[in-house]
Each structure stands twice: as structure tokens, then as C-alpha cells.
Amino acid sequence: MSSLLFVCLGNICRSPLAEGIAKHIAREHGLSIEIDSAGTGKWHIGEAPCEASQRIALKNGIDISDLRARTVLPEDKERFEKIVAMDKENKRTLEDLGFRNTKLLGDYGDYGGKDVPDPYYATDAIKEVFTMIRTCVEDIFRKEFHV
Ligand code: 4NP
């Protein structure tokens, strides 16, 4: 596998964190993988990641300030081998749009299929969100890329 797309609702809180963490791990291990993120919604297209996500990423040595939100596109179906949704609603939306190669982030890292909490209205959940995303993304790299 050499391409990975992370998807949430707005592409400003959760999936940019997953993208930043995944790119960081790929760089650390010298892996050449296409990594991107997108939202199922269109409200925040062109926006930078939310402040809480930017801040916690930077605290952990990852700068996500240059990422910009986009919506999922039909061509993502062909472009990405694996598409990882942050919660079940995102996954269902992708399936309704005809995406077949979707997984739930919470299926990795012993989270038992848990949804990544949406931090948009609860920024105090951001630490829990970051820990879950990092743990699950690390597990993806262990299972899919053997690092
Ligand atoms: P995200 O968070 O899906 O993690 O980017 C959200 C961002 C925006 C909205 C909801 C969730 N919104 O309703 O605009």
C-alpha cells in the first residue's frame, strides 16, 4: 500500500491531525507514501486546521499550520488505496458516495471500533483526541507498513 486518505466531517480538527501524524511517521521511517486528508462536508474548504488541533500537534513536534481543508472528491476513490474515517458517520457517508476501500480509525490500536470524538464543540477533548489518533495511526503503520 502506498496511499492513505484520512476523512472526517470538516477536515479542520481530526483528519488534519491524522494527516500530520502520519506524514511525521512516514518521514521518520523514510517511507514514500501519499498521505492526505479531506472532509465529507464543504463548510470549511480552504481553512487551516482548528486552533486546538494546531496547538496540540505543535506541542508534539508536528506543524500542521500549512494544511488546508478540502472536501472528498470522486477521484479519491481511485487515487487512494486506503481511506480511513474518523467516525462511523463519516464512514457511512463515504460508503453512500460509493467509496469501497474504507476503514474506521478506531478499528486500529485496540480501540474496538470507537469513534474519534468530534472536538469541534468540545475543544477540551483535544488531548484525548490526539492520543487516540496517534495510537491508531501508529498501529496502521505497524500493520500496513511494518514499521
Ligand atoms: P472535524 O470537526 O470533522 O474533526 O474537522 C468538525 C469541524 C466542523 C464541523 C463539525 C466537525 N462543522 O459542523 O462545521
For the chain, what percent of residues have pLDDT higher than 70?
100
Cβ 87 under 6 angstroms from ligand 1:
no
Average pLDDT for residues 74-97, to the nearest whole number?
A: 98
> Any idea what DSSP says for residue 61?
T
- The reported pLDDT for the residue numbered 19 is 99
The percent of residues in the chain predicted with pLDDT above 90, rounded, is: 95
Listing from the earlier edge strand, what are the strands of the sheet with 102-104? 34-39, 3-8, 82-85, 102-104
Q: Are 66 and 73 in contact (CB under 8 A)?
A: no
CB 47 within 8 A of CB 12: yes
Instruction: Return the residue whose CA atom lies nearest to atom 3 of ligand 1.
Output: 9
**pLDDT for the residue numbered 13:** 97
Residue 142 among the catalytic residues:
no
Identify the pLDDT of residue 122.
78
Kindly state if the Cβ of 13 falls inside 6 Å of ligand 1: yes
* Mean pLDDT for the stretch of residues 1-25: 97
Cell of 52: 486546538
Q: Widest CA span of the chain, in angstroms?
A: 37
Angstrom CA distances, 5 to 55, 59, 99, 133, stand at 22, 24, 12, 14
- Ligand 1: centre distance to CA 121 (Å): 8
Cell numbers linked to 90: 463519516
> Has residue 15 got a pLDDT over 80?
yes
Asked whether the predicted pLDDT for residue 1 surpasses 80, the reply is no
What pLDDT, on a 0 to 100 scale, did the predictor assign at position 114? 97
Q: Which residue, judged by its Cα, is nearest atom 8 of ligand 1?
A: 10
